[in-house]
Every structure is written in C-alpha cells, then in structure tokens.
Amino acid sequence: MMDFITGPLFALSLLIFVGGLGLRVILYIRGLDAKLERVAYNFHFSRSIPGALVSIGKWLIPGGTAGWRKQPVAAAAFFLLHVGAIFVPLFVLGHTVLLEDLTGISLPSLPGELADVLTIATLCGLVLLVARRLTSPALRQLNSCQDWLVLAVTILPFFTGLMASFDTASYDTWCILHVLSGELFLILAPFTKLSHIALYFMSRAQLGMDYAIKRGGATRGGAFPW
C-alpha cells in the first residue's frame, strides 16, 4: 500500500501536476490575442516587463493593492492561508528529508513548531474563506460545486499532515490519508481553479503589461494607482 502510493501513484500525480500546469500556461499564452485585447504584447518590452513584474509583486504584498485594501478581512484570510500553503509543503522537515532521499537535494527545513503554527494559520484562513463563501451575498450567488471541492481538497492535506505530526495512536492511518490527499490535490490542480498556482502569474503579467503598454502605467514607472 505505502509503496504503491508513494511510488507509482506519487510519480503519476507529480507528472499530472507539473505537466498539466505547464500545459495550462502554454494554452494561456496561445489564447492571448493582441488584436482583440488591443495590447501589443510583443513590443515595448522595456515598459511591459517591469509592468508585469510590478503587478505580480504588488498583489503578493499584504495591502499592496487597492483590491486588498478594500477587502481587509478577505485579504487577511488570503494571506493566512497562502503563507503556510507555500512554505509548509516546500520546507517542512518530513518533506525535505524525503526530497533529499529521492533527489539528493537538501533544502533547509522549518522548525517543527513554526511549521505547526503556519499549518494552523493556513487552516484558519481556509475556514475563514469557507465562512466568507457562506455569508457574503455576492459569493452566495456565485458558489459552485467546484468552489467547495477546491476548498475541501486544500483543507485535507494540511489537516491530515498536522494530525500525522501529532504522532497519535493512529499515526499510520493519518500518514496514508495525508499522502493520498496530497496526491488528490496535485492531480486536481491543473483541472480546477487551483490552476491559479501557475495562472496567477500569467493573468497578473498580462494585466500588468496591458496597463504598462497602453494605459499610461509606464509613465508612473510601471506602477498605477487603480
């Protein structure tokens, strides 16, 4: 059981994740239409590249954009979720030890307590986003099955990983559930809104280029107030 889910099934999930997201990025770029969108993507690189980078960067800073400042609660939930969601899977000890065994690459690892705190923050962020989906009138109009699926698929690996790290009497079960739920996340990512893991960078870059090339953003050094 363990050998299968950490061997062939893991390789397959990773392939689907990396290959699938790579394909989504290629399709995104091929779907751009300079005429339709009236953006000369292939010209003015000296303006458009800084514009793209600024747009990607500003949304990664808490309160960095008007969009974040307008919705402080959603923004707080978002950052609670994403800080742990990015750093814990990459740097938690259980993963760095396995990575070193598989590839020989040795990454620094998070202290156990910090990993626990970040994971709990991630889970709190996710619960807040669930609450927001349930209460916000605008979101209640928009909610689809996929939104709930994406939230559930994200909660599972963090919850089962935290439970496994507590080393309870059912450690083996939590371990297996953690591996399976992590793989479910990897497999579903390219086919759901989780594809924003890669497409965030594409759509922010596109908009950043748009503003920098034709809406005068460049005259403000790549930054724009709206």
Binding site for ligand HEC (CB under 6 A): 93-94, 97-98
CB-wise, 62 or 112, nearer to another protein? 112
Name which of 48 and 165 has its Cβ closer to another protein: 165
Does position 97 interact with another protein (CB under 8 A)? The reply is: yes
Of 155, 224, 153, the C-alpha closest to 191 is 153
Closer Cβ to another protein, 56 or 180, answer by number: 180
Contact of residue 112 among ligand HEC, another protein, none (CB under 5-8 Å per partner type): another protein
Looking at beta carbons only, is 48 or 109 nearer to ligand HEC?
109
The Cα–Cα gap between 213 and 41 comes to: 8
Is 90 near another protein (CB under 8 A)? no
Read off the tokens for 7.
Answer: 């061997």
The verdict on 96 binding another protein (CB under 8 A) reads no
Q: What is the DSSP string of 46-100?
A: HHHHHHHHHHHHHTTSTT-SHHHHH-HHHHHHHHHHHHHHHHHHHH-HHHHHHHH
- Planar angle of CA 64, 59, 226, nearest 5 degrees: 65
Q: By CB under 8 A, is residue 37 in contact with another protein?
A: no
